[in-house]
Amino acid sequence: MHIEDIRKASRSEPFRPFTVNLADGRSFRVQHPEFIAIPPQGRRTVIVFLPGDEGFEIIDPTMVASLTVSDNGESNHSRRAG
Protein backbone atom coordinates (compact mmCIF):
# COMPACT_ATOMS: atom_id res chain seq x y z
CA MET A 1 0.00 0.00 0.00
CA HIS A 2 1.20 3.51 -0.67
CA ILE A 3 2.08 5.62 2.34
CA GLU A 4 -0.11 8.40 0.89
CA ASP A 5 -3.19 6.17 1.28
CA ILE A 6 -2.39 5.73 4.97
CA ARG A 7 -1.69 9.45 5.37
CA LYS A 8 -5.03 10.28 3.71
CA ALA A 9 -6.93 8.00 6.13
CA SER A 10 -5.11 9.51 9.11
CA ARG A 11 -6.00 13.06 8.03
CA SER A 12 -9.59 12.52 6.94
CA GLU A 13 -12.06 15.22 8.00
CA PRO A 14 -13.97 14.27 9.96
CA PHE A 15 -11.62 11.59 11.18
CA ARG A 16 -12.95 8.05 10.91
CA PRO A 17 -11.24 5.33 12.94
CA PHE A 18 -9.56 2.68 10.80
CA THR A 19 -7.68 -0.58 11.08
CA VAL A 20 -4.32 -1.19 9.44
CA ASN A 21 -4.32 -4.79 8.17
CA LEU A 22 -0.89 -6.30 7.50
CA ALA A 23 -0.01 -9.03 5.01
CA ASP A 24 1.05 -11.33 7.86
CA GLY A 25 -2.47 -11.27 9.36
CA ARG A 26 -1.85 -8.78 12.17
CA SER A 27 -4.01 -5.68 12.44
CA PHE A 28 -3.79 -2.43 14.39
CA ARG A 29 -6.72 -0.15 15.22
CA VAL A 30 -6.26 3.63 14.92
CA GLN A 31 -9.03 5.19 17.05
CA HIS A 32 -7.80 8.78 16.82
CA PRO A 33 -5.33 10.67 14.58
CA GLU A 34 -2.99 11.11 17.54
CA PHE A 35 -2.44 7.34 17.59
CA ILE A 36 -0.58 7.25 14.27
CA ALA A 37 2.62 8.99 13.16
CA ILE A 38 3.75 9.27 9.56
CA PRO A 39 7.00 11.14 8.91
CA PRO A 40 6.63 13.94 6.35
CA GLN A 41 9.88 12.94 4.62
CA GLY A 42 12.73 10.49 4.81
CA ARG A 43 12.24 6.92 5.93
CA ARG A 44 8.99 5.40 4.86
CA THR A 45 7.66 3.96 8.10
CA VAL A 46 4.43 4.35 10.01
CA ILE A 47 4.14 4.23 13.80
CA VAL A 48 0.87 3.09 15.34
CA PHE A 49 0.53 3.69 19.07
CA LEU A 50 -1.21 0.81 20.83
CA PRO A 51 -3.97 1.23 23.45
CA GLY A 52 -3.06 1.82 27.07
CA ASP A 53 0.57 1.30 27.94
CA GLU A 54 1.17 -1.36 25.29
CA GLY A 55 3.72 0.76 23.41
CA PHE A 56 3.81 1.14 19.65
CA GLU A 57 4.33 -0.77 16.43
CA ILE A 58 6.64 0.37 13.62
CA ILE A 59 5.15 -0.64 10.29
CA ASP A 60 6.62 -0.80 6.80
CA PRO A 61 3.83 0.53 4.52
CA THR A 62 4.68 -2.07 1.87
CA MET A 63 3.48 -4.70 4.37
CA VAL A 64 0.02 -3.10 4.67
CA ALA A 65 -2.51 -5.25 2.81
CA SER A 66 -5.51 -2.99 3.40
CA LEU A 67 -7.15 -0.35 5.56
CA THR A 68 -10.57 -0.97 7.03
CA VAL A 69 -12.29 2.36 7.62
CA SER A 70 -15.13 2.81 10.11
CA ASP A 71 -18.26 4.64 9.03
CA ASN A 72 -20.15 6.02 12.04
CA GLY A 73 -18.92 3.30 14.38
CA GLU A 74 -19.30 0.46 11.88
CA SER A 75 -16.21 -0.94 10.18
CA ASN A 76 -16.99 -2.25 6.73
CA HIS A 77 -15.27 -0.15 4.10
CA SER A 78 -11.95 -1.68 3.09
CA ARG A 79 -9.24 -0.24 0.86
CA ARG A 80 -6.98 -2.87 -0.63
CA ALA A 81 -3.42 -2.39 -1.77
CA GLY A 82 -3.28 -1.99 -5.53
CATH number reported for the structural domain that contains residue 9 in this entry? 2.30.30
Grade residue 42 by pLDDT with cuts at 50, 70 and 90.
low
User: What is the Cα–Cα distance from 10 to 19, expressed in whole angstroms?
Assistant: 11
User: What is the Cα–Cα distance from 27 to 31, expressed in whole angstroms?
Assistant: 13
**Mean pLDDT for the stretch of residues 20-44:** 91
Between 73 and 6, the higher pLDDT residue: 6
Amino acid (1-letter code) at residue 3 = I
Number of domains in the chain: 1
* Residue 82 within a domain: no
Report DSSP state, residue 6: H
* Residue 7 within a domain: yes
* Residue 80 within a domain: no
**Mean pLDDT for the stretch of residues 34-46:** 86
* Residue 81 within a domain: no
Residue 33: is the preceding peptide bond cis (ω within 30°)?
no
Average pLDDT score over the chain: 86
Task: List the domain range (segments joined by +) for residue 61.
Answer: 3-74
* Residue 46 within a domain: yes
